[in-house]
Structure 1
Amino acid sequence: MSAPDNIEEIMLTAPVIPVLVVDDPAEARPMAEALVAGGLRVLEVTLRTDAAIEVIKRMNLVPGAIVGAGTVTNQKDLDAALSAGAEFIVSPGLTEPLGRAAIKSGVPFLPGIATAGELMAGLDMGLKHFKFFPAMANGGIPALKALIAPFGQCKFCPTGGITPETAPDWLALDNVLCVGGSWVAPKGASREEIRKLAEEAAEMGQ
């Protein structure tokens, strides 16, 4: 199964995108298999560990998985992630050099924004899909609602501080297509525990 070729299709694949920090490449495939089995096919591997590039390569071998790179902050990160087979790119913020490079590459791109100015910079580049980050530290749902008011054409994936308890409230907003969450693959969790958490998260969009 090939990856969707645009970011909105990817965002609509499941209500929760797991945000994964993986230290050991050996954990990659079992973790991805458990998440996909639970109904979460879109996997964001953050470039926060030395193992991240190898993790992306190994997760890409799992049937049905759509594997992307998160915490991409510059063109070097972007190039490394694409070389590893990342099928989408997520950044914590938006700079013009990164934005232009991602757009030129043609990869589905979800840049992080926190303010109206950052959002306008993205719109100027032709982007309409954004990660609202860090969601809770930025004022939570009231802050995002305030941004949506003048920018109703934009769609969002809030990430940062979102929990299984609060995720449904975010997903209830029309302009929120999905949320990012690290709770679905906690450190030390067994394969069965991850699959169960994934199943619960996948049901949030129903």
Structure 2
Amino acid sequence: MPPAPSASPSVLDLAPVIPVVVLEDATDAVPLARALVGGGLPAIEVTLRTEAAPEAIRAIADAVPEAVVGAGTVLDAESVRTAVAAGARFLVSPGWTDTLLEAMRASGVPFLPGVSTTSEVVALLERGVTQMKFFPAEAAGGTAYLKSLASPLPRARFCPTGGVTAANAAGYLELPNVACVGGTWMLPQDALAAKDWDRVQALAAEASGAAAAR
């Protein structure tokens, strides 16, 4: 029997840039999401690194319908269930195992399992998954590594995350096997601490505009 197709047919097509958000205070979730959407970045990955994350995902899902909120740092079946129950519309993991892959597939929402080696990419292709997160992108070889995968593994498409910045994002997006990038450069810590949502929106607009002009 051939492998089942990937359950993530559209994550990579949501937006060219996906902000990766770490929230300590769930009350910041809605104004932050509105700022990102206002700047042209509707796909938002809220990482499950803090206790506030599920509540933040739920708040964005309920109050910002124009946003497509997902969950990152999904590590096991429990975090899959937590994310989906909170309203996550896509899932992103830093790596994968067969158990985690099965849980993400069973969730019914699109997902991006993380890879950093050629063997991991081939293993996912064997399992019918063609859309992946490349993490940690810069540490794992950056654009040169991804470019080298394009010819031998043409079915694989990637969202590089980890070390992607305003300065190098365009280089990733120019690659034929890269559909989008994930990053935090539009979310500087001082702006978040000051709740300067206007600045976040302006940075999001810069990121969106730069990606559209590539």
Alignment TM class, shorter chain as reference: over 0.9
Counterpart secondary structure, 2:189:
coil
8 Å Cα contact 2:115/2:134 also seen in 1:
yes
Indicate the percent of aligned positions where both proteins have the same amino acid.
48
Equivalent residue runs for 1:93-172 within 5 Å? 93-172=95-174
- C-alpha distance in 1, partners of 2:13/2:208? 11
Task: Report the counterpart of residue 67 of structure 1 in structure 2.
Answer: 69
8 Å Cα contact 1:100/1:125 also seen in 2:
no
Q: What's the C-alpha RMSD, in Å, of the aligned pairs?
A: 1.2
Task: Report the counterpart of residue 32 of structure 1 in structure 2.
Answer: 33
1:64-87 CA-partner distances (Å, limit 9, x unpaired) = 100000000110110100110100
- C-alpha distance in 2, partners of 1:112/1:101? 14
Aligned length: 201
- C-alpha distance in 1, partners of 2:9/2:18? 13
1:72-104 CA-partner distances (Å, limit 9, x unpaired) = 011011010011010000000011001011112
1:93-139 CA-partner distances (Å, limit 9, x unpaired) = 01100101111222101011001111122112211000110000001
How far the C-alpha of 1:154 sits from its partner, in A, is: 1.1
1:10-55 CA-partner distances (Å, limit 9, x unpaired) = 3223211000001001110000000001100000000111110001
Unaligned runs of 5+ in 2: 1-6
Counterpart secondary structure, 1:92:
coil
Which moved further from structure 2: 144-153 or 27-36?
A: 144-153
Give the counterpart letter for 1:28 in structure 2.
A
Task: Report the counterpart of residue 192 of structure 1 in structure 2.
Answer: 198
Counterpart secondary structure, 1:188:
helix
- C-alpha distance in 2, partners of 1:103/1:173? 27
Give the counterpart letter for 2:190 in structure 1.
G
- C-alpha distance in 2, partners of 1:9/1:205? 18
Counterpart secondary structure, 2:205:
helix
1:154-173 CA-partner distances (Å, limit 9, x unpaired) = 11100000110100010001
Give the counterpart letter for 2:110 in structure 1.
P
Counterpart secondary structure, 2:65:
coil
TM-score (structure 2 length as normaliser): 0.90
- C-alpha distance in 1, partners of 2:94/2:112? 9
Counterpart secondary structure, 2:70:
strand
Task: Report the counterpart of residue 17 of structure 2 in structure 1.
Answer: 16
